[in-house]
Amino acid sequence: MPTLADIYSAADSFKRRLSDAASNPGASLQQMLGYANDRARAQNESDAAALNEFQQTGKLNGPIQMQNALDTAQGYNPAGIFAPVDPKIAFSALKMEKTGISPKEIWNKLNVFRNPIDNQWRREITDESAKLKGGEKVEDAVMNQMRKLGKDKTAEPVTMGDIFHHPDLYEVYPHLKDIEVRFTPKDSKLSGRMALPEEGKGWFELNPNMPADKAKETILHELQHNIQENENWAVGGSSQDFHHQDAATKARDILNWRKEVESTAQRMGLSPLNNSDWYRIAHDKLIQNYYDKGVADWLPHEEARFQASWPAYSNGTDSRSQAEQLVKMYGLDKKTTPYNADQMYRRLGGEIEARQVGTRRNLNAEDRKQYFPAEYKSETNPYGMDTAPENALYLNRQGYFNAQDLPK
């Protein structure tokens, strides 16, 4: 059965490594928060200057106010793939949020929303003009563009910009148009994926037989993952990353037993301060209680009970925190059996967002404004998130977080 080392290993496996394919990777969380605070102070100063100008002149169209309004207006965009918000607009949205204005109202006024999984502000870049260039399926597009650009004679790689028209996105993320495009292996059933080798630049692999609209959905999905890596948002992953169900179950049994012993010790008035043998006494008393009540079959496995006695699982230790994190990650704080690998993969915040980009790909600006993206989908909003935010799994390059614990 898994040991404490297994549990540590399972928790550590969720630390995301930096990707060479993501240009300009984000700084540390602390640095990003510091940067945001600096920009917020600048916006405060700008707002104060605009207010002072109005108080002195009595006019609403002074140069400072006009510039401030222009900066705010620049945050408005029609919609499409999710992208970060200008810090000034984010601060304006934050002020509205603090005064009790609802997320939907903020969306309607500024076209920005706070992603409920990682608490970061988003906007949508229009993708109405996005399309596959050069053919009705991926293979045609690639081969036709190779001939058109003369790349069939030079062995120069075909890039995303060669086959996928999306000027609004490339204006924000120029590096995306330079990512190499390849075909998936012949025996692959994948629509597409972003390949990230240990060394060197990554590339996109696309199924050559995909029709144009399916290719658009797949490309937008994968491009969204690249943006997530750039912005240090909640990211996606693979079902192969999630094979720690046994370790999570063991961690749950260890923690549950440890907490039962601690509770028993508290009722008995025992603690390390008044009895160095407090744990053993409470442990034996608890086992006797199980037998007295005729529920000895419910006792955790002997190994789990033994490991629960380790000082490493004392309240407030890193070991206990990591074990609790693993239990929650696999849903064992709410259910009796852990999520399987595919369920874990689908719960990833980055995958939820990338799927949503695909479903919203053909909406016009009016529809996008009507269908608020930061809520669980319903009959009235079929273009919302396909997983309830409270059931989502937030992973980023630093590891696993609970969104409710992040600063706003």
53-97 pLDDT per residue, tens: 555 665 545 665 445 444 433 333 334 689 999 999 999 999 999
pLDDT class of 241 with cuts at 50, 70, 90: confident
**Is there a domain that residue 161 lies in?**
no
Higher pLDDT, 152 or 44: 152
Cβ pair 313, 307 in contact under 8 A? yes
Residue 370 forms part of a structural domain: no
- Is residue 187 domain-resident? no
Q: Does a structural domain hold residue 190?
A: no
Q: What b/e readout covers 183-211, taking b as 16+ CB neighbours within 10 angstroms? A: bbeeeeeebbbbebeeeeebbbbbbbebe
Does position 188 have pLDDT exceeding 70, yes or no? Answer: yes
Q: How many residues does the chain have?
A: 408
Is residue 226 a part of any domain in this protein? no
Asked if 220 contacts 357 with a C-beta cutoff of 8 angstroms, the reply is: yes
Burial profile 329-348: b = 16 or more Cβ within 10 angstroms, e = fewer: bbbbeeeeebbebebbbbbb
pLDDT at 12: 41
Q: How far is Cα 119 from Cα 387, in angstroms, rounded to an integer? A: 16
Mean pLDDT of 33-52: 45
pLDDT at residue 319 tops 60:
yes
**Full domain range(s) for residue 42:** 27-126
383: number of Cβ within 10 Å: 17
- Domain end residue (candidates: 274, 294, 329): 329
Tell me the pLDDT band of 225, cut-offs 50, 70 and 90: very high
Whether 391 is in a domain gets the answer: no
Residue 57 belongs to a domain: yes
Instruction: Please say which residue of 105, 126, 147 terminates a domain.
Output: 126
- Rounded Cα gap, residues 168 and 176, in angstroms: 12
Domain count, the chain: 2
Q: Indicate whether 88 belongs to any domain.
A: yes
- Could you say which of 329, 346, 367 is where a domain stops? 329
